[in-house]
Amino acid sequence: MCPVISAIVATYNAPDLLYKTLVSLRDQSLKSNVYEVIIIDDGSTDHTLDMLKEFCTLHTHFQWYTQKNQGPAVARNLGIRYARGKYIAITDHDCIADRDWLRAVCDIFDQDQEVLGIEGLTASNPEAIHLFTHQVVNYSGGMFATCNVAYRTDILNQIGGFDEDYPYGHEDTDLSLRVRQLGSIRFSPEAKIIHPPIPISFEKLVKQANQLVLNEFILFKKQPNWYNQYHRSPLHTLLVELCFKMFFHLLRINLKYVYRSPIMYVKYCLAIFLQRMYLLYLLAKMYWKNQIPVYIAE
């Protein structure tokens, strides 16, 4: 008997976080013969595989596969190929699924055949959030982040899954745009995921500029019609909106930390300043190598 729904989790070097995610998926209110969990290890170099072997041996509706490190889009596509369910739910290795997460997804798909995708509510722990944490919060929809989305399997196969040209980031936006060209994606507060705040280092925050630059140009090239509805151009987005407007926006909304932790606030200001300097360096490097016209050409 094939499961009704397949949950896919891509992971890399995060066994402790992943274990908590797997426990939350093990404890779903659906019976174990109704769903399966597919974990794709993206070339971890720590003890992730040892943990997966032990966990999946104990829980036979969990399967794991491994690949060389190629990024989350490639990993999730591998999971889609192995999925046997008629629905696919996707979450990340640092998330906690509500007990009724998969049940809520199945109910919506079963009740409305016109719905091709579902975006669930994603909450976090506000008391644990600070300047150097990463978390996703989505109470009203429109993000389509891979921490909490689901699609009909036949639709994902029809559009070819995630676009593997995106190294990290924007692959979820691109996928949702292609699905929405065929039908609707519904937001459901019942399909709930908790995304706990995860610490992020000073260095990692600065180096995020590399992802921001490359992914912005790729998204523009892949989805020009959608992109032009909301942005002038990738260069305008990166130079004006991100480097300038977002910089001062982040300083303003985080002013509360001046009193709570002034040293951390100064460190954060330095990090986002260096991030933007690194971004400008990357753009200059692309311009010098004549790479920008390649991305913005029709």
Contacting residues for 130 by C-beta, under 8 A, at least 6 apart = 197, 257, 261, 264
Give the per-residue pLDDT at 223.
Answer: 84
- 123, HSE (Cβ side, Cα atoms, 13 Å): 11
Q: How far apart are CA 251 and CA 207, in angstroms?
A: 19
User: Going residue by residue through the chain (298 aa), what tens digit of pLDDT does each one get?
Assistant: 789 999 999 999 999 999 999 999 999 999 999 999 999 999 999 999 999 999 999 999 999 999 999 999 999 999 999 999 999 999 999 999 999 999 999 999 999 999 999 999 999 988 788 888 888 889 999 999 999 999 999 999 999 999 998 877 789 999 999 999 999 999 999 999 999 988 888 888 888 787 778 788 888 888 888 878 777 788 888 888 888 898 899 889 888 888 888 999 999 999 999 999 988 988 888 878 776 655 554 4
Question: Could you tell me if 40 and 11 are in contact, meaning their C-beta atoms sit under 8 angstroms apart?
Answer: yes
Structural domain boundaries in the chain: 5-199, 202-296
Select from 153, 2, 165 the least CA-distant residue to 80.
153
Q: How far apart are CA 166 and CA 71, in angstroms?
A: 9
- Residue in this structure with the two tokens 């909304």, named with its chain if needed: 253
Give the per-residue pLDDT at 291.
Answer: 67
Q: What is the separation, in whole angstroms, between the first and last Cα of the chain?
A: 48
Q: How far apart are CA 240 and CA 227, in angstroms?
A: 16
Q: How far apart are CA 296 and CA 221, in angstroms?
A: 6
Token pair for 83: 């999925």
Q: Topology of 5-199 in CATH?
A: Spore Coat Polysaccharide Biosynthesis Protein SpsA; Chain A (3.90.550)
> HEC string of 190-255?
EEEEECCCEECCHHHHHHHHHHHHHHHHHHHHHCHHHHHHHCCCHHHHHHHHHHHHHHHHHHHHCC
